[in-house]
Amino acid sequence: MATKRLARCGVRAQWRSARARSGARAAAGQRFAFLIVLDFETTCWGDRGRRGPEIIEFPAVLLNTSTGALESEFHTYVQPQEHPVLSEFCTELTGITQNQVDEGVPLNICLSQFLKWIQKIQKEKKIIFSADSQSNSTSEAKTCAFVTWTDWDLGVCLHYECKRKQLRKPDILNSWIDLKATYRAFYNRKPKGLNGALQDLGMAFEGREHSGLDDSRNTARLAWRLICDGCVLKVTKSLDKVSPYFVSPHLLAL
């Protein structure tokens, strides 16, 4: 029995080593050196009333596309102001409590804090943002793109909440990679949600579903799997054309 267990361990070790090698080869052809994965949680209700969702959890994780490592994270809870009291349905779905959002920050402050985090990792890792380019502005600069599971987070949720509240949305959030659409095109398979996509590839969801931070981490894991399997990730949605640039200090005054 011990011999069989050792053999299985050896097979798993060989598989992990092969995956790492294939990942390194695939990473060499990627357009982006880094990916920032976002997955918002918002106010929600059990009924279908006409209420605009407000972000209540704003997470982001930084994925190195050469190694698969998560090198930095941003996370904060956000105070909803249009509907400040969370529904029981929302708390049960997301696990987010009323106390957590009450102690959070308004969306405008959240965006300012997020841009400060962006500026920090730009300086540390020489990151620039580009809609979808293989060229860098300098030999040292490393391109970065945002990733979401579907277009909803950036194309609907944040976009319309900023419009309703007359907040300036950072231009860098106008372009992103829809990983669900990318997954469907690459594997020719329609996934049943993020968890279903992971399961289809033999991967288990880690953490709690509908936790924004856990969803972001798992989406990053899925992005790395796509890279290892040979998928070149490309921007799938752009609300406007923006040139590669660093976040300038005046944008932090949101």
Catalytic residue, candidates 41, 54, 57, 161:
41
**At CA 198, angle to CA 20 and CA 144, rounded to 5?**
60
Please answer whether residues 140 and 126 qualify as being in contact, where contact means their C-beta atoms are separated by less than 8 angstroms: yes
3-state SS class at 201: coil
Catalytic residue, candidates 75, 83, 159, 210:
210
Dist. CA 52–CA 241, nearest whole Å: 27
Please answer whether residues 125 and 142 qualify as being in contact, where contact means their C-beta atoms are separated by less than 8 angstroms: yes
For residue 105 the two structure tokens come to: 């920050």
Q: Could you say which DSSP state residue 35 is in? A: E
Dist. CA 219–CA 201, nearest whole Å: 13
3-state SS class at 170: coil
Active site residue 83: no
Tokens 């695939």, residue located:
26
Read off φ and ψ for residue 111, nearest 5 degrees: -65, -35
**At CA 153, angle to CA 246 and CA 130, rounded to 5?**
25
Active site residue 210: yes
Read off φ and ψ for residue 202, nearest 5 degrees: 75, 25
3-state SS class at 174: helix
3-state SS class at 148: strand
By annotation, the residues acting in catalysis are 41, 210
